[in-house]
C-alpha cells in the first residue's frame, strides 16, 4: 500500500517534471526483488540489528545531484512471524508456491528483517525554496519600500510643518521679514559681541504713516508696508538682518568698516524709498536712526541710542538719517 501511494505521488511529480522520491523496504532477504538492499543499505541494516542506532539520515551526492536519505527500521521478528519466515516446511504451501523456498525464509526471532528507506532529491526542493525565498524577499522589499515611503512622507510633512511653524514664529505675517521676537533675541545676544566693533543698528520709521492709514485705509497701508519691505530686502547685503519691530517701524543689524560707510548705506536706502512709487499714495519718506555697537554696550543701550537717533531725525524734520555718537 505504501509503495502504491508513493507511485501515485511520483506520478504527480513526474507530471510537473520533478524528480521522483525513491521509496523501498530495504531487506537482505526480500521476497520481492525490488526490495533487495544495496551494499550501503546492508551496512545500515547491520547497524540497526546491532542496536547501534534506531534511525539513519544523511546528505548524499549522486551524479552531481543532491539527495536526502532517511532510513527507519520496521518491527523485529517475533514468534508469530516465524511461520512465514523460518523453515519453508512450516510456511503455507501457497506462499512457497508463489515465492519459492529461499526468499524471505530462514529468519531468526529478534532480527530486523528490513527498514523503510526514502531518497528524496534536493534539487527540485531547493529550487522551490529559492523561488519561495525570492518571492518572500521581493514581497519584503516592496513592503519595506512602502513603509520607508510612508515614513519618509510623514517625516517630510513634519519637517514642512516644523519649518512652517518656525517661520510663523520668526517671521512677520504681513511683510515676511523677521519679527520683533527675533529682534529681541538677537539684540540680547549683542551682549556677547561687545568686542565686534563695526556693527550698527539702524531703526527706520515711515514718516506720517498714520495719515496714510487715515486717508487711504489700512489695506493700502499694509501694501505700503509690504512694498517697503521688499525694496529694503533687495537692497541690504547678505550679512545684514532686517526686522519689522512695530507697526511702521523697522530695524536693520548691519556690519560696516566705518560709521561713514554705515551712514552712506542708510542714505541709499532713504533715497531709494523716496524715489519709489507706492500704489494710490505716490511717494513716501522714511527717517533712520543709527547707533554703533561699542565694546562695553549691552543690547538695551544700543537700542536706546538708535531709538534716540531716530527721534532726533524726526525732530529735525524727518526724511533724513541721524547718527547718535554718545556712548
Rounded to an integer, what distance in angstroms lies between the CA atom of residue 275 and that of residue 319?
Answer: 12
Rounded to an integer, what distance in angstroms lies between the CA atom of residue 205 and that of residue 37?
Answer: 109
Rounded to an integer, what distance in angstroms lies between the CA atom of residue 56 and that of residue 4?
Answer: 24
- Residue 318 exposure: Cα atoms within 13 Å on the Cβ side: 9
Give the three-class secondary structure for 256. Answer: coil
In whole angstroms, how far apart are CA 128 and each of 7, 9, 134, 139?
Answer: 21, 17, 10, 16
Rounded to an integer, what distance in angstroms lies between the CA atom of residue 17 and that of residue 186?
Answer: 79
- Give 7's contacts (C-beta < 8 A, 6+ positions apart): none
Listing DSSP states for 72-109 in one string gives: EE-PPP-GGGHHHHS-TTTS-HHHHHHH-SSTT-S--T
First to last CA, the chain: 113
Catalytic residues: 248
Cell of 2: 505504501
Rounded to an integer, what distance in angstroms lies between the CA atom of residue 78 and that of residue 132?
Answer: 47
Q: Would you put residue 106 in left (φ > 0), alpha (ψ -120 to 50) or beta?
A: left
Give the three-class secondary structure for 71. Answer: strand
**Tally of CB atoms within 10 A around 156:** 10
Cell of 53: 542506532
Amino acid at each position: 500500500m505504501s509503495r502504491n501511494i508513493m507511485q501515485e505521488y511520483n506520478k504527480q511529480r513526474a507530471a510537473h517534471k520533478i524528480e521522483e522520491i525513491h521509496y523501498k523496504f530495504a531487506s537482505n532477504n526480500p521476497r520481492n526483488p525490488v526490495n533487495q538492499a544495496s551494499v550501503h543499505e546492508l551496512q545500515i541494516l547491520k547497524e540497526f540489528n546491532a542496536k547501534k542506532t534506531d534511525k539513519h539520515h544523511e546528505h548524499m551526492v549522486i551524479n552531481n545531484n543532491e539527495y536526502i536519505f532517511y532510513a527507519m527500521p520496521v518491527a523485529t521478528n517475533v514468534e508469530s512471524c516465524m511461520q512465514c519466515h523460518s523453515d519453508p516446511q512450516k510456511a503455507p504451501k501457497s506462499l512457497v508456491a508463489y515465492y519459492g523456498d529461499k526468499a524471505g525464509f530462514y529468519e531468526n526471532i529478534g532480527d530486523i528483517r528490513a527498514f523503510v528507506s526514502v531518497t528524496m532529491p534536493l534539487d527540485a526542493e531547493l529550487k522551490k525554496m529559492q523561488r519561495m525565498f525570492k518571492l518572500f524577499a521581493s514581497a519584503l522589499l516592496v513592503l519595506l519600500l512602502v513603509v520607508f515611503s510612508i515614513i519618509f512622507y510623514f517625516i517630510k510633512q513634519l519637517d514642512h510643518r516644523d519649518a512652517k511653524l518656525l517661520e510663523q514664529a520668526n517671521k512677520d505675517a504681513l511683510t515676511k521679514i523677521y519679527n520683533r521676537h527675533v529682534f529681541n533675541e538677537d539684540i540680547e545676544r549683542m551682549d556677547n559681541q561687545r568686542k565686534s566693533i563695526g556693527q550698527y543698528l539702524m531703526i527706520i520709521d515711515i514718516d506720517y504713516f498714520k495719515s496714510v492709514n487715515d486717508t487711504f485705509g489700512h489695506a493700502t497701508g499694509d501694501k505700503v508696508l509690504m512694498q517697503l519691505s521688499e525694496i529694503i530686502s533687495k537692497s541690504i547685503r547678505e550679512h545684514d538682518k532686517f526686522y519689522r519691530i512695530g507697526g511702521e517701524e523697522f530695524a536693520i543689524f548691519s556690519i560696516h568698516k566705518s560709521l561713514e560707510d554705515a551712514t552712506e548705506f542708510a542714505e541709499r536706502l532713504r533715497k531709494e524709498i523716496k524715489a519709489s512709487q507706492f500704489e494710490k499714495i505716490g511717494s513716501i519718506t522714511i527717517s533712520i536712526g543709527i547707533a554703533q555697537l561699542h565694546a562695553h554696550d549691552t543690547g538695551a543701550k544700543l537700542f536706546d541710542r538708535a531709538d534716540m537717533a531716530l527721534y532726533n531725525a524726526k525732530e529735525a524734520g524727518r526724511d533724513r538719517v541721524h547718527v547718535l555718537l554718545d556712548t
